[in-house]
């Protein structure tokens, strides 16, 4: 018992855990205030505003150069996605048909006959 | 061996293994054999190969949270919920998410709950040949599963399990405060960025426990001699760093409909024209919560049992945190056996 109390590794581990708990608790108190939330979001809004300006300027440059903007590429991507969705549904239908054929061929799968322990013991008693 | 000897031995081992630790490739995760059953954009549906001679009739579909990779269900052999369920005789399918691409910015809550999940449910039905299935949702995956269940009451769902699933978003603690509509301009964020970046999602998790990362790094250095501890740390660390970005519209919906208006809790959520009232869920349901969950507070998930219309319902509260509930030592000892027992009784 005395050995355990003075084990330096355990003392160190406890020290780390205590520090973690205290630091998190203190930080959570500060971060849980309305003021913190407000300033964090203000900073984020500032960053987003700068990014928006940059995006708009870049889109204008690309337009002047007669090149597609990020939005144009994304719109293209979105229409590819809708084609992909249709393709996936066709593939799924084909896979379903193929599976039906394979199942008929007798693909080995474990039987779905398992019972929970409570029902098994009941069956045994009967 | 005396204490001094043990200390010296561990110090030597720490120095030798510490070098390996720094140069090792990322931890190998998700090793249980599986096949991709369906993939479309951000969506993946996996089927794990059965590992028992006899299966329960009803297959299980695990729905992962949209913020993280599903290999947390299958971290390493012996530390894998999927492997455990397979060995217990379940047929297991998993919905996983890849980072949404910029062109997937317009995916909304409706896409996830009225398209992705129903499509995967149908795929599981077709693949297993069974008319019904159980769904197990983790965290936000639980929310999506609840919305699906509440809006598809005549569907093939037989049992529902929600793991650390928030229902009352007013009790989401710091996350609720930081995203308060007074200060947080979600429209500006989504309209500017399209897809909410991974850094943003990861920072919002890490800020909840700002000292956790440093403390974990100190702990792993101290325990560098313990191979099992290091192996587990590396797998968790990799998973924690592989947070996913979020589709913008989905993030906007989640923030406005769930976080701000708390519609799932209040019973007035409408998705794609369909009402999703928790009281309409009548299937057997189990909810597992973690006592020390710092991401989804106990108070946020607690009301679920009172809100659902099911008669067969059970709640379990376990010690531990948000992730250790499904992948920690307590999960191995208590949660997995309880889950298998509860589902087993209802899977014939």
Q: What is the pLDDT of residue B170?
A: 96
CB atoms A32 and B174 under 8 Å = yes
The one-character DSSP state at B44 is E
Confidence of residue A1 (pLDDT cuts 50, 70, 90): very low
Q: What is the pLDDT of residue B287?
A: 97
Same domain for B226 and B253, yes or no, is no
Q: Shortest CA distance to B18 belongs to which of B309, B314, B254, B221?
A: B221
Q: What does the alpha-carbon distance between residue B149 and residue B79 come to, in Å, rounded to a whole number? A: 29
Which CATH number goes with the domain that contains B268? 3.40.50.1820
DSSP B276-305: --GGG--S-EEEEEETT-SSS-HHHHTTHH
Q: What is the pLDDT of residue A106?
A: 55
Contacts of residue A110 in chain B, CB cutoff 8 Å? Answer: 50, 52-55
Give yes or no for residue A105 having a pLDDT over 70. no
Segment B183-189 long-range contacts (CB within 8 Å, at least 24 positions apart): B183/A37, B183/A38, B183/A40, B183/A41, B183/A42, B184/A37, B184/A41, B184/B255, B185/A41, B185/A45, B185/A48, B186/B251, B186/B252, B186/B255, B186/B256, B187/B252, B188/A45, B188/A48, B188/A49, B188/A52, B189/A44, B189/A48, B189/B251
With a CB cutoff of 8 Å and minimum separation 6, the contacts of A39 are none
Mean pLDDT computed over every residue of chain A:
83
Same domain for B153 and B62, yes or no, is yes
- Is B80 within a domain? yes
Q: What is the pLDDT of residue B322?
A: 92
φ/ψ of residue B129, rounded to 5? 80, 10
Q: What does the alpha-carbon distance between residue B255 and residue B187 come to, in Å, rounded to a whole number? A: 10
- Is B203 within a domain? no
pLDDT, one tens digit per residue, over A15-42 is 999 999 999 999 999 999 989 999 999 9
Mean pLDDT of the B304-331 span? 92
Lowest mean pLDDT across A122-126, B151-155, B219-223, B339-343? A122-126
Same domain for B86 and B228, yes or no, is no
Give yes or no for residue A67 having a pLDDT over 90. no
Mean pLDDT of the B330-339 span? 92
ipTM summary value: 0.79
- Is B61 within a domain? yes
Q: Tell me which residues of chain B, numbers 210 to 269, contact chain A at a CB-CB cutoff of 8 Å.
A: 210-212, 214-215, 218-219, 222
Confidence of residue A76 (pLDDT cuts 50, 70, 90): confident
Mean pLDDT of the B81-89 span? 97
Percent of chain B with pLDDT over 70: 100
Mean pLDDT computed over every residue of chain B:
93
Confidence of residue A107 (pLDDT cuts 50, 70, 90): low
Same domain for B308 and B228, yes or no, is no
DSSP B60-99: EEEE--TTS-GGGGEEETTEEHHHHHHHTT--EEEEEEPP
- Is B298 within a domain? yes
Mean pLDDT of the B51-75 span? 96
CB atoms B348 and A115 under 8 Å = yes
Q: What is the pLDDT of residue B228?
A: 85
Q: Quick check: B126 contacting A, CB < 8 Å?
A: yes
Mean pLDDT of the B98-113 span? 94
User: ∠ at Cα B334 (B332, B339), nearest 5°?
Assistant: 95
Q: What does the alpha-carbon distance between residue B287 and residue A84 come to, in Å, rounded to a whole number? A: 36
The pTM of this model reads 0.88
Give yes or no for residue A2 having a pLDDT over 50. no
Q: Quick check: A84 contacting B, CB < 8 Å?
A: yes
Among B50, B106, B188, the residue with its CB nearest the CB of A78 is B106
Contact (Cβ atoms closer than 8 angstroms) between residue B76 and residue B30: no
State the DSSP H helix or E strand holding residue B135, giving kind and residue range, or none if neither: strand B133-138
Number of domains in chain B: 2
Give yes or no for residue B146 having a pLDDT over 50. yes
Query: To 10 degrees, the CA torsion angle through B243, B28, B123, A117?
Result: -110
Same domain for B306 and B231, yes or no, is no
- Is B206 within a domain? no
Q: What is the pLDDT of residue A5?
A: 55
Same domain for B13 and B109, yes or no, is no
Q: What does the alpha-carbon distance between residue B46 and residue B62 come to, in Å, rounded to a whole number? A: 10
Mean pLDDT of the A43-62 span? 88
Mean pLDDT of the B214-221 span? 89
Could you tell me the two tokens for A43? 């900073």
Confidence of residue B243 (pLDDT cuts 50, 70, 90): very high
Lowest mean pLDDT across A98-102, A118-122, B69-73, B119-123? A98-102
Contact (Cβ atoms closer than 8 angstroms) between residue B63 and residue B136: yes
Could you tell me the two tokens for B115? 């398209």
pLDDT, one tens digit per residue, over B249-288 is 999 999 999 999 999 999 999 999 999 999 999 999 999 9
The residue range of the domain holding B20 is: 1-25+213-243
Same domain for B10 and B130, yes or no, is no
Distance from CA of A12 to the nearest CA of B (A): 9
The one-character DSSP state at B24 is P
CB atoms A40 and B348 under 8 Å = no
- Is B207 within a domain? no
Mean pLDDT of the B235-246 span? 92
Greater confidence, B258 or B241? B258
Q: What is the pLDDT of residue B106?
A: 92
Confidence of residue A104 (pLDDT cuts 50, 70, 90): low
Greater confidence, A90 or B285? B285
- Domain spans of chain A, in order of start: 34-67, 69-100
Contact (Cβ atoms closer than 8 angstroms) between residue B135 and residue B163: no
């Amino acid at each position: 018992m005395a050995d355990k109390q003075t084990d330096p590794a355990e003392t160190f581990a406890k020290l780390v855990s205590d520090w973690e708990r205290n630091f998190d608790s203190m930080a959570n108190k500060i971060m849980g205030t309305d003021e913190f939330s407000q300033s964090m979001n203000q900073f984020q809004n500032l960053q987003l505003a700068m990014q928006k300006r940059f995006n708009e300027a870049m889109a204008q440059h690309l337009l002047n150069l007669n090149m597609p903007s990020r939005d144009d590429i994304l719109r293209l991507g979105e229409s590819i996605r809708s084609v992909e969705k249709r393709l996936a549904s066709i593939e799924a239908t084909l896979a379903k048909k193929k599976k039906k054929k394979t199942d008929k061929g007798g693909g080995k799968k474990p039987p779905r006959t398992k019972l929970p322990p409570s029902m098994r013991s009941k069956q045994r008693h009967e | 061996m005396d204490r001094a000897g043990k200390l010296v031995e561990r110090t030597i081992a720490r120095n030798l293994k510490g070098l390996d630790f720094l140069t090792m490739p990322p931890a190998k995760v998700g090793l249980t054999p599986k096949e991709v059953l369906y993939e479309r954009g951000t969506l993946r549906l996996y089927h794990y190969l059965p590992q028992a001679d006899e299966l329960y009739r009803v297959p299980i579909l695990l729905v992962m949270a949209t913020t993280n990779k599903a290999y947390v269900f299958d971290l390493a052999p012996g530390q894998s919920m999927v492997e455990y369920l397979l060995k217990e005789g379940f047929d297991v399918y998993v919905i996983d998410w890849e980072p949404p691409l910029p062109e997937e910015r317009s995916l909304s809550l409706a896409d996830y709950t009225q398209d992705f999940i129903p499509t995967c449910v149908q795929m599981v039905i077709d693949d297993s040949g069974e008319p019904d299935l159980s769904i197990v949702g983790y965290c936000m995956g639980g929310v999506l599963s609840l919305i699906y269940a509440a809006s598809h009451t005549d569907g093939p769902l037989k049992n529902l399990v929600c793991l650390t699933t928030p229902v009352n978003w007013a009790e989401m603690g710091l996350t609720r405060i930081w995203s308060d509509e007074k200060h947080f301009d979600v429209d500006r964020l989504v309209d500017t960025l399209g897809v909410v970046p991974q850094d943003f999602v990861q920072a919002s998790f890490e800020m909840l426990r700002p000292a956790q990362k440093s403390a974990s790094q100190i702990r792993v250095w101290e325990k560098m001699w313990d191979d099992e501890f290091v192996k587990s740390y590396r797998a968790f660390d990799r998973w924690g760093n592989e947070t996913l970005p979020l589709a913008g519209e989905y993030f906007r919906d989640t923030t406005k409909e769930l976080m701000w208006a708390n519609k799932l809790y209040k019973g007035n959520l409408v998705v794609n024209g369909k009402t999703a009232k928790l009281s309409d869920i009548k299937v057997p349901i189990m909810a597992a919560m973690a006592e020390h969950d710092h991401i989804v507070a106990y108070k946020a998930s607690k009301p679920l049992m009172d809100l659902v219309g099911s008669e067969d319902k059970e709640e379990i509260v376990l010690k531990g945190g948000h992730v250790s509930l499904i992948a920690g030592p307590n999960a191995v000892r208590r949660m997995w056996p309880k889950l298998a027992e509860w589902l087993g009784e209802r899977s014939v």
